[in-house]
Amino acid sequence: MDKELLRKNYNAVLENIRALNKDGRVKLLIATKMQNCEDINYLVSQGASLIGENKVNELLEKYEGYDKNVEVHFIGTLQSNKVKYIVDKVTLIHSVDKLSLLQEIDKRAGKIGKVMDVLLEVNSGKEENKGGIFPENVVDFYEKARCFENIRVRGLMTMAPRCQSREEYLKYFGLTKEIFDKLFKNDENAILSMGMSESYTYAIEAGANLVRVGSKIFGERKY
């Protein structure tokens, strides 16, 4: 991708975040699905510090090519049988929503002497075709997740349904924020990851402190 355009897009997103984020609490994670290491590393040279991959195979293919100064998160749906391939490579898993996945993460992290940081994924719109825990079940799932020796629950993540208005987005993001405040009200370092390219400004408005942005920086993906 043209580096000048890449820099321009990245800076435009940063400016939007700064305008809504007067106290500097919101961090930007760059979603790097289908992007090459050259472009990713260019953004690191411009100050980017967090990237997130959606697919295990893609993460493994690109891992050695990442700038060593960047922090890598896994942000996609994670199958239990793929945990072993990434547990030593990522600092945060965003999409935990099953007890079996917790068990596998705990097992694999324990084998390498690591406490794995995770976010619990909330299905705020109760969409049957998407992963995530329904809002009314999050507290119970959180209590189970806290019992694992090699896992640390850092916060919550949600992907709101695709909405037609700011008010709709705020409704779904606000629901997850309410649960987050209940569970993590005494943890100043807890993470609330909400919002993507089309909705990150609304997510910040609703209280997100981490946003995941890809296409607003790289342009629409070419499948």
pLDDT tens profile 141-198? 999 999 999 999 999 999 888 888 999 999 999 999 999 999 999 899 999 999 999 9
Structural tokens at position 110: 């324990």
Q: How far is CA 98 from each of CA 46, 142, 188, 205, rounded to the nearest angstrom? A: 37, 11, 26, 29
For residue 29, being part of any structural domain is answered with yes
For residue 150, being part of any structural domain is answered with yes
* Res 158: pLDDT: 96
Structural tokens at position 123: 């299905």
For residue 178, being part of any structural domain is answered with yes
- Specify which residues 157 forms β-bridges with: 121, 193
Residue numbers of the domain that contains 57: 3-218
For residue 223, being part of any structural domain is answered with no
For residue 103, being part of any structural domain is answered with yes
| pLDDT tens-digit map of 14-52 | 999 999 987 889 999 999 999 999 999 999 999 999 999
For residue 210, being part of any structural domain is answered with yes
| Exposed/middle/buried for residue 119 (C-beta within 10 Å: 0-12, 13-18, 19+) | buried
For residue 102, being part of any structural domain is answered with yes
d(CA 124, CA 206): 13
Query: Where residue 178 sits, what CATH number does that domain have?
Result: 3.20.20.10
d(CA 172, CA 194): 10
d(CA 135, CA 179): 8
| pLDDT tens-digit map of 78-108 | 999 999 999 999 999 999 999 999 999 999 9
Task: Label residue 221 by pLDDT band (50, 70, 90).
Answer: low
For residue 16, being part of any structural domain is answered with yes
List own/partner pairs for 41-48 with CB under 8 A and 24 or more apart: 41/65, 41/66, 41/67, 41/70, 42/3, 42/6, 42/7, 43/6, 43/10, 43/217, 44/69, 44/70, 46/7, 46/10, 46/11, 48/10
* Res 80: pLDDT: 97
- Specify which residues 211 forms β-bridges with: 28
Domain count across the chain:
1
